[in-house]
Amino acid sequence: MKKSSKKLTWYGHNCFLFEYNDVKFLIDPFLVAGIAPVQTSDIKADYVLVSHGHSDHCANALEIARTSQATIVGIAEVASFFGRQGVKTESANIGGAVYLPISKDSESPKAQILTVQATHSSTMPDNSPGGSSVGFILSFSQNGAFLSPDRAAIKPMKNVLSDASAFSIYFACDTGFFADMSWIGTLGIDVAVLPVGDRYTMGPSLSLDAIKAINPQYVVPCHYNTWAPLSQNIAKWSDAVRQYTKAIPLVLTPGVAVNESELREWK
């Protein structure tokens, strides 16, 4: 099977573009003036993943979904809100997965988007209920084995992912540390994207507990230095990651993409 290409770009706060081959997944679109090096018109996406209804995670979701004709993926309340605005949506809930096509070949494995808990509040921009906040685990078969239960054998999730030699990237989004991160760690997370800003999410110290529980190969910080209350010394955090965990810290600059190499190294 042809090796897949993977690219990750941070646009500040919790907004990321993850590109798998030619398919673009945009997570929590919120472009902050002075931080994000792009405007909404510059971003193209196939899927827009919205973790919860707070404006600093979805303020630009509708415009980008409309201009890109993208599908918004979120918990049922989030999907319903955006569905009422006339864009395509895919709804899920905690513990459920959706399977999204990443190839024109209907016989190719689909991406698995697993919705997991996030310990955080949620209200939609119009103050309607936002349901629960969530994180997303994006998994992609690397050997042609299927992930969806209609095609794959029914096994524990970690076995299904292992059978597919899956690549998995975990966007924790807005959350504190929770014990089930240890279960997430059993799935074999290649890259974990974790908030470290404190106050509204876990901070640098609790993020170390999360990293130890998830045990990813690489960890990417987010949700920091957007505003003064989220100020963090990210170099100091990176040193702590190296000291207390086995993960490799990967600190991104807004707008500068990193790619997975042939050796499965991110740089």
Output the pTM of the full model. Answer: 0.98
pLDDT at 264: 86
Confidence of residue 93 (pLDDT cuts 50, 70, 90): very high
What is the residue range of 90's domain? 6-258
pLDDT (0 to 100) of residue 1: 58
- Whether residue 178 is predicted with pLDDT greater than 80 in this model: the reply is yes
Is residue 63 one of the residues assigned to a domain? yes
The backbone torsions φ and ψ at residue 23, rounded to the nearest 5 degrees and listed phi first, read: -100, 135
Give the pLDDT confidence of 72-89 residue by residue, as tens digits: 999 999 999 999 999 999
Split at pLDDT 50, 70, 90, the class of 71 is very high
The residue length of the chain stands at 267
User: Rounded to an integer, what distance in angstroms lies between the CA atom of residue 216 and that of residue 193?
Assistant: 10
Q: Which helix (H) or strand (E) holds 258?
A: strand 258-259
Q: Is-contact 115 94, C-beta < 8 A?
A: yes
36 class by beta-carbon count within 10 Å (0-12 exposed, 13-18 middle, 19+ buried): buried
Q: Is residue 134 part of a domain?
A: yes
Give the Cα separation of 160 and 147 in Å (integer).
Answer: 6
pLDDT tops 70 at residue 207: yes
Confidence of residue 3 (pLDDT cuts 50, 70, 90): confident
As beta bridge partners, residue 192 has: 170, 219
Between CA 263 and CA 169 the distance in angstroms is: 17
Cβ atoms of residues 37 and 15 within 8 Å:
no
Average pLDDT of 17-29? 98
* 221-237 pLDDT, tens digit each: 999 999 999 999 999 99
- The pLDDT mean for the chain works out to 97
Query: Given the DSSP bridges, would you call strands 218-222 and 248-249 parallel, antiparallel or unpaired?
Result: parallel
Give the integer Cα–Cα distance in Å for 16 and 255: 9
User: Domain tally for the chain?
Assistant: 1
- Asked if residue 213 is part of any domain, the answer here is yes
Q: How far apart, in whole angstroms, are the C-alpha atoms of residue 109 and residue 103?
A: 8
58 and 33 Cβ atoms separated by less than 8 Å: no
Q: Is 240 domain-assigned?
A: yes
Nearest to 56 by CA among 99, 97, 14: 14
Q: How confident is the model at residue 262 (pLDDT cuts 50, 70, 90)?
A: confident
Tell me whether residue 265 is in a domain: no
Instruction: Flag whether 1 is in a domain.
Output: no
- Which amino acid would we find at residue 144? G
Nearest residue to 17 via CA among 196, 175, 169: 169
> Could you tell me if residue 141 is inside a domain?
yes
Would you state the structure tokens that stand for residue 260, as one six-digit string?
């997975």
Provide the pLDDT for residue 212: 98
pLDDT at 210: 98
Q: What is the CATH number of the domain that holds 193?
A: 3.60.15.10
Percent of the chain beyond pLDDT 70? Answer: 99
Task: Tell me the H-state helices in the chain.
Answer: 55-58, 61-68, 76-83, 157-163, 181-185, 204-214, 234-244
Within-domain flag for 129: yes
| Structure-token pair, residue 183 | 């279960």
Cα 170 to its chain centre, rounded Å, is: 5
